[in-house]
Every structure is written in C-alpha cells, then in structure tokens.
Amino acid sequence: MRKQIAAANWKMNLSQNEAETLLDQLLATEHSLSANQEAIFAVPAIYIPLATQKLVGKTNVYVAAQNCHQKDNGAYTGEISASMFASVGVKHIVLGHSERREYFAESDALLAEKVNAVLAIASTPIFCCGEPLAIREAGTQNTFVEAQLKNSLFHLTAEQITKVVIAYEPIWAIGTGKTASSEQAQEIHAYIRSVFASQYGQSIANQISILYGGSVKAANAKEIFSQPDVDGGLVGGASLVATEFAAIINALK
C-alpha cells in the first residue's frame, strides 16, 4: 500500500514563538494517522531543532528541510548539506519547489544532483514538479512535467525511485486561490504514474507516492485526496493554521 502523506511547507514564515505556538496548537488538535499515513513538517531550517523536539515520540510524524545543497561539504557559505540535516534527525528534504526553480534558477540538472545527495544519506527526497499557467493554457502540461521527471530522476535505479516522493504543483494554483479540480488533479497524477510505469514498470510506479500541491485546504482536501492516484498533499498557506492542517491530515485515505 502506498504511503498517504500530508506535508506542510511553512516556506519563509513565522517567528520562533509563532512556530512553537503553531506546533503546540497542532499537537493539541484532533487528528490521527494510520500505519500507511505520514505527516511531514517542512519548516525553515532554523526551526528544525524546535520541531524535532516537539515531535519526539510521535508516530509517523517527521520534520523535513525545505532545500539542501548538492555537495556534502565545502566552501559554500550559507548553505546546508543533506548530511548536515541527517545529522540532526531530518529524514525528508523538499527539492525543486517551483519557488526554488523560479527565484533561484534551479535547473533539472542541478536537482538531479540534489536528489543524489539526499538518497546518498538514506533520506527521502520530496521532488516537486509542475507547470506554469502558460503551459497549462497551451495544453502541454503533460510533456512539460514529463521532461522535469526524466531530466532529474530517470538516472535512478528502480530501487532508488521507490524512495522518492513526488509532489505535483500546478504553479498557477499556488497562492492564487485557484485550485485544480479533483478531476484535473487525478488526470495529471495518473499521467505522472504512467511516466514512471513506462520507465520502471507498473509495479514500481504503483509504489510511488504522488502528492498534490496546489492550494490544498480543509474544504477541498477530502475530495482531492479521494482520487485514486492522489496520495496526499504538499500544503502551503493552510499548513500555517493548526485546525486547517489537522483537517487535511484527517482527509488522507
């Protein structure tokens, strides 16, 4: 059975006091996780020790980093390597978020290196892909996303690819209030799975968790997550509200 995942991406938000309050509020809400479900908190790097401490003893709940450097160490002032994150207990790292691609010019080739770095220290890459509005309007989103996947992931072995979580982000639906319909989400998630099936076989493709990452809220999570190829969500703004994110966790299949 594929893992069902509710992943919170806090982005560059919250003071330390606000971060602690949010974690405390979330832990006090009514939410539950079954054996095949996970909740993941991708917090700003400076809050990783705080989040890790708060979540000690929690089952199927993890702290993630929002990015890492592709090198293990070296003269890269201001950067943090995957192995550094692993040394403080981080087991998941978000890679290739649309904001990293747009604002920091992260290429498919660079992301391939980052994926290698994360897998090398036995952590889980949460690999983001997705199209901007112009591509969606042109109807070429499938080939656009397929190229992102092939260029950054298809050098991996079948064993390695099963350790990667995919997060599909319709960039036109992030922070805009627009949301892909559940049918649109299912359509491209199914296509993404077919791309992996073509390369690695259907059995391997069926093991890969594919998350939806476009304006997921408590109000729409259950409908979106009910689609057969949608395995949860990578959640932005709604993850900064404890009751909202708790409801999203509870919406997992």
87's tokens: 């040394």
Catalytic residue among 69, 92, 97, 189: 97
- Report d(CA 74, CA 196) in Å as an integer: 34
Classified as helix, coil or strand, 65 is: strand
Question: Is there a catalytic annotation at residue 169?
Answer: yes
Half-sphere exposure of 85 (CA within 13 A, CB side): 36
With b for 16 or more beta-carbon neighbours within 10 A and e for fewer, the 12-45 pattern comes to eebeeeebbebbeebeeeebebeeebbbbbbbbb
Catalytic residue among 99, 106, 131, 169: 169
Question: Is there a catalytic annotation at residue 92?
Answer: no
A 10 A CB-CB count for 88 gives 13
Give CB contacts under 8 A, 24+ apart, made by 42-45: 42/7, 42/8, 42/9, 42/10, 42/66, 42/92, 42/94, 42/126, 43/8, 43/10, 43/19, 44/10, 44/11, 44/12, 44/13, 44/14, 44/19, 45/80, 45/85
Task: Check if the beta carbon of residue 27 is closer than 8 Å to that of residue 61.
Answer: no
Inter-CA distances, 63 with 49, 118, 212, Å: 9, 15, 19
Active site residues: 97, 169
